[in-house]
Structure 1
Amino acid sequence: MWLDGEKVGEVKWGLVGEHNMHNGLMAIAAARHVGVVPADAANALGSFINARRRLELRGEANGVTVYDDFAHHPTAILATLAALRGKVGGTARIIAVLEPRSNTMKMGLCKDDLAPSLGRADEVFLLQPPHIPWQVAEVAEACVQPAHWSGDVDALADMVVKTAQPGDHILVMSNGGFGGIHQKLLDGLAKKAQAEAEE
C-alpha cells in the first residue's frame, strides 16, 4: 500500500477482487482519519474474516477446488467470476454452476444478461428451476463457452463431476442452498479420485 509515493504497509489477506480491495483501502483510510497508523491498519486487515458466501472455499477434492458465492444477478456474477479469475490466473479452468433462484431471476428479467456475465468461466452448468416462465437452455445456447443444463440438482452435480479435472475451480452461485450441491460435488469428486486410483 502506497501513500504520497511512499510504501506505508502491505495487506496480506485471502480476499480477492476489486470490490474487496476498494473496501480494504477505505477501511485503512477511515482508520488513518481517526489516528491509526496505515501500517497497523493494513496488518489488522490480515485477520479480517469475510462474510460467508462471498467466494467462500467449501472444500477441495481430487485436486478440484469448490467455492460458494451468493452472486444471484448478472452484475454480481460478472464481478465474482472476475475476482476468481484474478485469484487463480488466466490459464486455470473455472467451472461456473448457477441456480437462477432470486425472484428477479425467476421472472427472467436478467436472462439476456446471463450469458455475457458468465464469460470469464471456461464451462457453465445451469439448473432449470421448475415453474419459471423461461428456459435456461436459452442462456446455455447464448454462451460462447461450453454450457450445459439440467432440471435436477443430482444430475447437474454428476455432469460437473464428470467434467472437472485436477486444477479446476468450481464456482457455485445461488442465493439459496442449491439442493446441497456443494457437498454433492465434493463427494462425487472424492469418489472419482478413488475410482481413478483403483484403476
Structure 2
Amino acid sequence: MAPGLPTAMDRPHFIGIGGAGMSGIAKILAQRGAKVAGSDAKDSATADALRSLGATVHIGHDAAHLADDASCVVVSSAIREDNPELARAAELGIPVVHRSDALARLMDGLRPIAVAGTHGKTTTTSMLAVSLGALGLDPSYAIGGDLDLPGSNAAHGSGEIFVAEADESDRSFHKYAPEVAIVLNVELDHHANYASIEEIYDSFRIFAGKIVPGGTLVISADQEGARELTARLEGTGIRTVTYGESLDADVRIGAVVAKGLTSDVTVQIDDAPLTFTVSVPGRHYAHNAVAALAAGVALGIPAEELAPAIAAYQGVKRRLQLKGEAAGVQVIDSYAHHPTEMTADLEAMRAGLPEGGRILVLFQPHLFSRTQELGTEMGVALALADASVVLDIYPAREDPVPGVTSELIIDAARNTGADVTAVHGKADAPAVIAGMARPGDLVLTMGAGDVTDLGPLILDRLAQQNR
C-alpha cells in the first residue's frame, strides 16, 4: 500500500498550480486526501481537472487567495520573489516548499525510478508509467506532460513503485533518492542556470550519487556526454547498467527497424535476444524504450514481461503527437526546442514520410538565453526540413535580451541554403504554413511554447483551402 500524506502537506497552496510539474504534485496530494488549493495566471483544462478532484484553483495571483491555515506553500523556480502570495506566506510564517522537495516527500516509503537527461525524460517516464500499469503494478507517477487527457500527467497508485521525471534545469533533481536512476543524455542546456558543460557534469554526478545503496544507474552507452559521465563515476561504487548500440553496452540494441510510425527493436539483454514494438517513430524513441526496459529489469521485472507492455505506450502529448489531417496533409506537434531534439524529431519524420511528401516546420524558439547560445545550431537543425516558418521567441519566464531575436536562427538556416520564412505575428502563421502545404506533406508545429495551439488552426485553414 502506498503511503499517505507527508507531514505538513495536508493543506498545501500551489503558486502556479497549472504548470506541468506543479499540477502533477497537486493531483497526487489531492488523491491522497489533501485539501489542495492554488492559483495560476490563466484558467485551463488542467485547472478544471484539479477542480474535479476537489482542489480550489484561483485565477490570477493575489495575497487574498492564500488561506491563513495553509500548511505550506509550494513553488517552482519560475515563481518570482515579488509574487503577492509568496509575500503573504512570509507574513503568516507559512513554510515555503520547492516543488522538488514536495515530490521527494511523495516518494518516501516507495521504490522510486527517477528519469533524467537533457531531453527524452517525459517520453521515457511515460513509457515506464504506462508499461508498469499494463502489468498491473499500479505505479504512482509524475510526468512533465499529459499522457492524453488534461491532468493525466500524474497519478497516485496503490503499488510500491513511483516513476518521476527528474528535472536538471534548476538542479532540483538533487533532492531525490531513487532506487533506479536513468540518465538518457548529458548536454549543455539551461544557460541561465549552468555556465558550462563542467557544471552540467557536476550536477549529474551529484544526482547519480543520490541513488540509494544497492540501487542502479541506467545510462546511455552511445551519447557522448553520458559516456563521459560514466567515466567520471568510475570508482564511486555506483552499480551502472549501460544501454545502446555500442558494442560495449550492457543492454545492446541490435536493430531498430522503422515501420511507418512504429519501430521494431531488438535488444540483447541477460544474454538473450528480445524483440518488441515501440509505437512511436524514430530511433531516439527506441532508445528511450530500451532505457525504460533496463530500468524495469533493474527493479526485478522480467524483461520478457516488460517488453511487450512497453508497446502499450501510444505516445504523449506534444511528443510527435498527430493533431489531425486535412487536405491530405498531416499536422504533428513536437515539443522539441533544443537542437538535438529538433534533429531527432525531423529525422524520425523523414523516415516515415510518404513518397513525394515534404516536411514543413512551424518553429517557435523557446527562451532568449537558449536562442542566444544555440540559435545557430537550431538553424542548422531546421535545414533538415524542406521548408520552415520561424516565429518570434517565446520568452516564458525570461526578460528580453538585447540583440537576441529569431533572426539568429533564420540567418543560420539560410546560410545552409534552407528555405525559411519569418513570421512575426503568431496569428498569421497558420495561413502561411497552410498555404505552403500540399497533399502528402507533414506539417510540424515545433517548440516548447504556445505554438502547440496553432495545430487546430492550421488544420482549419487546410480544410478551407480544399473546399
TM-score of the two chains, using structure 1 as the length reference: 0.82
Equivalent of 2:367 in 81, 87, 102? 102
2:319 match: secondary structure: coil
> What letter is aligned with 2:391?
L
Identify which of 306, 314, 339 aligns with 1:41.
Answer: 306
> What secondary structure does 2:456 align onto?
helix
CA deviation string 1:33-60 (max 9, x = no partner): 525142x322211111433211111111
Residue 330 of structure 2 corresponds to which residue in structure 1? 65
Pairs within 5 Å for 1:88-99: 88=353, 91-99=356-364
CA distance in 2, matches of 1:35, 1:44: 11
Task: Tell me, yes or no, if the aligned pair for 1:100 and 1:127 is still in contact at 8 Å.
Answer: yes
Rounded Cα–Cα distance in structure 2 between residues aligned with 1:154 and 1:135: 17
- Counting only pairs closer than 5 Å after superposition, residues 68-87 of structure 1 correspond to structure 2 as 68-87=333-352
Aligned to 2:48: none
Secondary structure in 1 matching 2:373: coil
1:119 maps to what in 2?
383
**Contact 1:94–1:171 (CA<8 Å) still a contact in 2?**
yes
Q: What secondary structure, in the 3-state scheme, does the structure 2 residue paired with 1:121 have? A: coil
Q: Are the equivalent residues in 1 in contact too, given 2:446–2:452 (CA < 8 A)?
A: no
How many Å separate the matches in 1 of 2:328 and 2:289?
Answer: 31
- What residue is the counterpart of 1:162 in the other structure? 435
Matched with 2:458 is 185
Q: Which residue of 1 aligns with 2:275?
A: 9
**Going by fraction, where is strand more abundant, 1 or 2?**
2
Larger Cα-atom Rg: 2
Q: Report Cα offsets for 1:106-135 as digits up to 9, x if no partner.
A: 5x2222222211122011111134966235
Contact 1:92/1:168 (<8 A) preserved: yes
After superposition, what is the alpha-carbon deviation per residue over 1:120-173, rounded to whole angstroms, capped at 9, x for unaligned?
201111113496623525245324232111111232221111110011001111
Asked if residue 172 in structure 1 is aligned to residue 437 in structure 2, the reply is no
Q: Write the letter of the residue equivalent to 1:8.
A: L
Inter-partner Cα distance in structure 1 for 2:458 and 2:321: 15
C-alpha distance 75-3 of structure 1, shift in aligned 2 (>3 A): closer
**What's the RMSD between the two structures over aligned residues?**
2.6
Q: Does 1:55 align with 2:320?
A: yes
Distance 1:7 1:73, change over 3 A: closer
**Matches of 1:140 and 1:22 in 2, distance apart?**
28
Unaligned segments of structure 1, at least 5 residues: 195-199
> 1:84 is aligned with what amino acid?
M
In structure 2, list runs of 5 or more residues that go unmatched: 1-265, 395-399
Specify the alignment match of 2:27 in structure 1: none
Instruction: Identify the structure with the greater helix proportion.
Output: 1
* Contact 2:383/2:413, CA 8 A, preserved across alignment: no
Cα drift, residue 84 of structure 1: 1.5
> How far apart in 2 are the matches of 1:142 and 1:172?
22
Alignment CA distance shift 1:55-1:151 (3 Å): same
| 1:145 equivalent in structure 2 | 418
Q: 13-22 or 129-138, which moves further after superposition? A: 129-138
After TM superposition, the runs of 4+ consecutive aligned structure 1 residues lying more than 3 A away are 2-9, 29-33, 129-132
State, as a whole percentage, how many aligned pairs show the same letter. 25
